[in-house]
């Protein structure tokens, strides 16, 4: 009986680990598929995403009555291929996710590390700045910034980076405070290492799994924010295909061509979910405490 209990206690963690690994690999596979589609969009897309043909308007996806060969996900109200627009829209989404999230991560992580490790007046200044910044609703703040900076991909990236650095600063500061009290940090101080050497060589490697997980999550947030801005026509030019713009168009014609709305919604949901699961999976794999 005792052996069965011990065996069961060992089996459950292994089962959870297998499920985490499965989610990690599925998320990575989906994101890799998106990256490949974005990089090779001109070669993969079956049609020009901007080409209009009113004779082909609102064609249903393959498998439904009235579908036409060559239009796997159907067409929109202007006869544009939905699949091609999704593929080219991935370019915008992933570009914003990568650049904006990385900029927010760099700025917020540096400030969080300095505030958490040095404390004192550095911590007070960073903490007050974070409090003031987070007093503004993030979505409304991003819309205001884009309205001030002007529409365009650069403005969207700047708006997301300016808003979301606070998330990194708060989390990294808290994690740095915990790591700074560990025995290995005290040992390094006794050994004569400088404060910057301890921060870079001892604290940062142990905070890095949290930063990586938060970066993956922030990429998903950046994709959502870009979709919101393009939904209200504050992202790039309305002629360029974006997932948010496709959702806005599909919402207007949902009773006539539901697939125009459903396709970008599903892709957006899967992408954000993949970034979230990737972040959790990477933290579980590289964080020694979770292992």
Residue 78 belongs to a domain? no
Structural domain harbouring 101: 83-286
CB of 66 within 8 A of CB of 122? Answer: no
Which candidate, 72, 85, 87, places its Cα nearest to that of 40?
87
Q: Is 81 helix (H, G, I), strand (E, B) or coil?
A: strand
pLDDT one digit per residue (tens) for the chain, 291 residues? 445 444 555 566 666 667 777 888 889 999 999 999 999 999 998 988 988 888 888 888 888 877 788 888 888 888 899 999 999 999 999 999 999 999 999 999 999 999 888 888 888 999 898 888 888 777 777 778 877 777 788 888 888 888 889 889 999 998 888 888 887 777 878 877 777 888 888 888 888 888 988 999 899 989 998 898 888 887 776 678 889 889 988 888 888 888 889 999 999 999 999 998 888 877 766 655 555
Q: What's the pLDDT at 30?
A: 93
- Measure the CA–CA gap between 11 and 19, rounded to whole angstroms: 12
- Measure the CA–CA gap between 187 and 158, rounded to whole angstroms: 41
Residue 111 belongs to a domain? yes
- Measure the CA–CA gap between 121 and 130, rounded to whole angstroms: 14
Q: What's the pLDDT at 104?
A: 93
- Measure the CA–CA gap between 22 and 13, rounded to whole angstroms: 14
CATH number at residue 194: 1.10.3720.10
Which candidate, 64, 130, 98, 150, places its Cα nearest to that of 271?
98
Residue 153 belongs to a domain? yes
CB of 67 within 8 A of CB of 59? Answer: yes
- Measure the CA–CA gap between 236 and 43, rounded to whole angstroms: 23
Residue 90 belongs to a domain? yes
Q: What's the pLDDT at 1?
A: 47
Residue 71 belongs to a domain? no
| Count: domains in the chain | 1
The model's pTM: 0.84
Q: Phi and psi of 149, rounded to 5°?
A: -75, -20
Task: Pull the structure tokens for residue 236.
Answer: 């790039």
Residue 227 belongs to a domain? yes
Residue 242 belongs to a domain? yes
């Amino acid at each position: 009986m005792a052996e069965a209990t011990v065996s069961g206690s060992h089996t459950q963690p292994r089962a959870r680990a297998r499920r985490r690994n499965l989610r990690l690999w599925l998320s990575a596979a989906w994101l890799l598929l998106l990256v490949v589609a974005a990089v090779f969009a001109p070669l993969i897309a079956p049609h020009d995403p901007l080409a209009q043909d009113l004779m082909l308007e609102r064609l249903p996806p393959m498998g439904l009555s009235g579908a036409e060969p060559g239009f796997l996900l159907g067409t929109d109200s202007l006869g544009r291929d939905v699949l091609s627009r999704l593929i080219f829209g991935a370019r915008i989404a992933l570009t914003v996710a990568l650049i904006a999230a990385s900029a927010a991560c760099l700025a917020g992580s540096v400030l969080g590390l300095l505030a958490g490790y040095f404390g004192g007046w550095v911590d007070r200044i960073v903490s007050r700045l974070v409090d003031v910044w987070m007093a503004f609703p993030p979505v409304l703040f991003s819309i205001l910034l884009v309205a001030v900076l002007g529409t365009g991909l650069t403005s969207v990236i700047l708006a997301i980076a300016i808003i979301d650095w606070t998330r990194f600063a708060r989390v990294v500061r808290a994690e740095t405070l915990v790591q700074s009290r560990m025995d290995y940090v005290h040992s390094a101080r006794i050994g004569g290492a400088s404060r910057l050497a301890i921060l870079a060589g001892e604290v940062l490697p142990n905070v890095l799994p949290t930063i990586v997980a938060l970066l993956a999550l922030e990429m998903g947030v950046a994709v959502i924010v870009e979709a919101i801005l393009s939904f209200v026509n504050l992202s790039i030019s309305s002629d360029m295909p974006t997932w948010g713009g496709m959702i806005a168009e599909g919402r207007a014609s949902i009773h006539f061509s539901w697939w125009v709305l459903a396709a970008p919604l599903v892709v957006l949901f899967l992408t954000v979910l993949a970034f979230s699961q990737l972040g959790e999976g990477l933290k579980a794999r590289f964080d020694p405490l979770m292992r």
